């Protein structure tokens, strides 16, 4: 319907302003009394036409082609045009949903001018292989996977990627921690590494290494040699062991990746050195105090950054630049990095490094979605520790406490840039206060009615929907009609929480309707119309839950 109205307005604008090329905006008013859609087209045309906006609005309405779906129009305020749709237009969405099914809400925004899906990469989680995934990683996993699902629904060719920082000081700390435990040194002993990891999992790795076990993780299989004098063997085994651990965490969270990339490979394949040489060649570097610097101030940074330290070795953002150059060379039109808020400082320097390469990479590439910290609560008190991890609550802890569905929903249901309180008691509650239960129960309620009816879906094809005219039905149909727009907006804004909020509102509309009316009644025409409406609602609930990676149970 939004497309239909846009076409009408475009035709009208061409009539009164033939040179007009601006994008036409249509929005849904917050209040139903202002109609189903509103446009500021008259205000936009006021300046080039040098006329009063309300006078232009009148001209637009006079030039507007006829439509079978518009009940009335009105000019409001400074010159806004409000559209009120008739019952036929509102009911049309029901048949549209029943016809398109799982594809309702999908679009082709991500396709190029030839209709081919453009390549987009979403990098998320990307945890250091130094321990089990914590709840912060879990929030990144939920948001990142939802982003990938949203982009796919909007026509993009999506690649999900996990980047392992398997080089550097933290891996060194992991190695010496495992070695200490192999030697029988307790974590509370004065000789245990000051910056070592103290969780129970370190002892598990040490025992597995001493027992010469074999572990498998994505692209590698490592068998321990049990030789604690072989530090490289300990390092390699520990990283593989924890990569396997994280694979299990992700599997429990029902998340799959297409590509796993290793920081160490950027060094071993010479990509870091090649990138540094390219930056030097570009003329954006200089030597000072035996260190190599990048002129990041040329690209908006507050100060220049060291690339190669005076004592040798590259700073951490250099491999990041090399990694993103590799992404660009792999043909990704768009790259989105979902990371913790502590990565904020890296954005400017990574983008600056990419611009300094003069490789044709667009300014502002890649995109970033940063999530804030998660506080876990139980019984009104903060939960801080996991015995296995030693210093934080793990993602597996949450999944075991409340299940995968609730964990995913709660971690994705708030804006990424806002802090999140994860209330375990609420997530476990089988009440309407729990939004996951509330939404899934709406779906199950509909399935129950359709099962009691005992009919087949084809019986609902093209039924007479004219009986759908009470306020509950109108509100439900209006909500359903906004779903495709909601999916498009959520992808544009990189905001999965928009889908979570929409589903909660849709469930509320359904529950209100369910509590007010009966569906399996004697009047066949009214019965089939209502069954069509709730069947369409069931489909949209399922489609939306799928975008969040949450199941749509038929019974509860």
- Which letter, b or e, does each residue of 289-313 get, where b requires 16 or more Cβ atoms within 10 Å of its Cβ? eeebbbbbeebebeebbbbbeeeee
**Would you identify the CATH topology of the domain 118-258+379-423?**
Rossmann fold (3.40.50)
Q: Contact at 8 Å (CB) between 51 and 61?
A: no
Domain 2-85 has CATH 3.30.1360.70: yes
The yes-or-no answer to whether 118-258+379-423 and 269-371 have a common fold is yes
For residue range 220-248, list pLDDT tens digits in order: 899 999 999 999 999 999 999 999 999 99
Its pTM stands at: 0.91
Nearest residue to 233 via CA among 272, 206, 261: 206
- Answer positive or negative: Cα dihedral of 449, 455, 457, 459: negative
Q: Contact at 8 Å (CB) between 69 and 35?
A: no
For residue range 43-70, list pLDDT tens digits in order: 999 999 999 999 999 999 999 999 989 9
For residue range 92-112, list pLDDT tens digits in order: 999 999 999 999 999 999 999
**Would you identify the CATH topology of the domain 432-547?**
Isoleucyl-tRNA Synthetase; Domain 1 (1.10.730)
What DSSP character marks residue 454? -
Q: Where are the beta strands (DSSP E) in 372-499?
A: 374-378, 381-383, 420-423
**Would you identify the CATH topology of the domain 269-371?**
Rossmann fold (3.40.50)
Task: Please name the residues in contact with 79: beta carbons below 8 A apart, sequence gap of 6 or more.
Answer: 40, 42, 43, 46, 52, 53, 54, 56, 57
Divide the 556 residues of the chain into consecutive groups of 10 and give the mean pLDDT of each group.
92 91 87 88 93 96 94 95 91 95 96 96 95 95 98 98 91 96 95 93 97 91 96 96 95 96 95 97 96 95 94 93 97 97 90 96 96 95 76 90 97 96 96 97 98 92 94 94 95 98 98 97 97 98 98 97
Rounded to 5°, angle at Cα 495 from 369 and 6? 125
Is there a cis peptide before residue 165, judged by omega within 30 degrees of 0? no
> 188: burial class by Cβ within 10 Å (0-12, 13-18, 19+)?
exposed
Could you state, in order of their start, the residue ranges of all structural domains in the chain?
2-85, 118-258+379-423, 269-371, 432-547
**C-alpha distances out from residue 456 to 41, 159, 442, 551, Å:** 45, 38, 20, 23
Q: Indicate the SS3 state at residue 386.
A: coil
Q: Contact at 8 Å (CB) between 310 and 289?
A: yes
Can you read off the two tokens belonging to residue 2?
Answer: 């939004």
């Amino acid at each position: 319907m939004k497309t239909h109205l846009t076409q009408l307005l475009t035709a009208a604008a061409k009539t009164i302003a033939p040179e007009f090329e601006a994008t036409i905006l249509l929005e849904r008013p917050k209040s139903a009394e202002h109609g189903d859609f509103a446009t500021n087209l008259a205000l936009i045309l006021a300046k080039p036409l040098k006329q009063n906006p309300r006078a232009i609005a009148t001209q637009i309405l006079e030039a507007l082609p006829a439509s079978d779906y518009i009940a009335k129009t009105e000019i409001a305020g400074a010159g806004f045009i409000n559209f009120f749709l008739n019952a036929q237009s509102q009911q049309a969405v029901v048949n549209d949903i029943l016809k398109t099914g799982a594809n309702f809400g999908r679009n082709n925004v991500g396709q190029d001018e030839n209709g081919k899906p453009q390549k987009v990469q979403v990098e998320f989680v990307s945890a250091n292989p130094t321990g089990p995934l914590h709840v912060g990683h879990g929030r990144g996993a939920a948001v990142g996977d939802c982003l990938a699902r949203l982009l796919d629904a909007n026509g993009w060719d999506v690649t999900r990627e996990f980047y392992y920082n398997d080089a550097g000081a933290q891996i060194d700390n992991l190695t010496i921690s495992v070695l200490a435990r192999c030697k029988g040194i307790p974590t509370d002993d004065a000789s245990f590494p000051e910056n070592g990891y103290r969780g129970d999992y370190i002892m598990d790795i040490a025992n597995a290494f001493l027992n010469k076990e074999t572990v498998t993780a994505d692209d590698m299989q490592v068998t321990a040699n049990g030789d604690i004098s072989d530090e490289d063997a300990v390092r390699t085994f520990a990283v593989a062991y924890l990569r396997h651990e994280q694979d299990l965490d992700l599997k429990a969270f029902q998340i799959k990746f297409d590509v796993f990339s290793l920081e160490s490979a950027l060094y071993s394949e010479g990509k870091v050195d090649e990138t540094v040489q390219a930056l030097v060649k570009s003329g954006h570097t200089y030597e000072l105090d035996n260190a190599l610097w990048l002129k990041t101030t040329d690209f908006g940074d507050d100060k220049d950054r060291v690339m190669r330290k005076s004592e040798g070795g590259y700073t951490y953002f250099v491999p990041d630049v090399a990694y993103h150059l590799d992404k660009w060379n792999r043909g990704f039109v768009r790259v989105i990095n979902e990371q913790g808020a502590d990565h904020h400082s890296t954005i400017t320097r990574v983008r600056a490094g990419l611009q300094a390469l003069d490789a044709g990479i667009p300014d502002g590439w890649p995109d970033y979605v940063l999530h804030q910290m998660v506080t876990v609560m139980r019984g009104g008190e903060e939960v801080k520790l996991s015995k296995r991890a030693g210093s934080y609550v793990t993602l597996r802890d949450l999944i075991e406490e409340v299940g995968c569905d609730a964990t995913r929903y709660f971690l994705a249901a708030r804006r990424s840039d806002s802090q999140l309180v994860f209330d375990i008691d609420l997530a476990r509650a089988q009440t309407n206060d729990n939004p996951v239960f509330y939404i899934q129960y709406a779906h199950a309620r509909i399935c129950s009615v359709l099962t009691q009816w005992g009919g087949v879906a084809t019986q609902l094809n093209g039924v007479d929907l004219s009986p759908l005219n009470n306020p509950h039905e109108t509100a439900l149909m209006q909500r359903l009609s906004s779903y495709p727009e909601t999916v498009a907006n959520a992808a544009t804004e990189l905001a999965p929480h928009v889908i979570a909020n929409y589903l909660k509102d849709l469930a509320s509309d359904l529950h209100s309707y369910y509590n007010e009316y009966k569906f399996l009644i004697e009047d066949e025409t009214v019965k089939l119309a209502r069954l069509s409406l709730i069947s369409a609602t069931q489909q949209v609930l399922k489609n939306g839950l799928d975008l969040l990676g949450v199941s749509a149970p038929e019974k509860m």
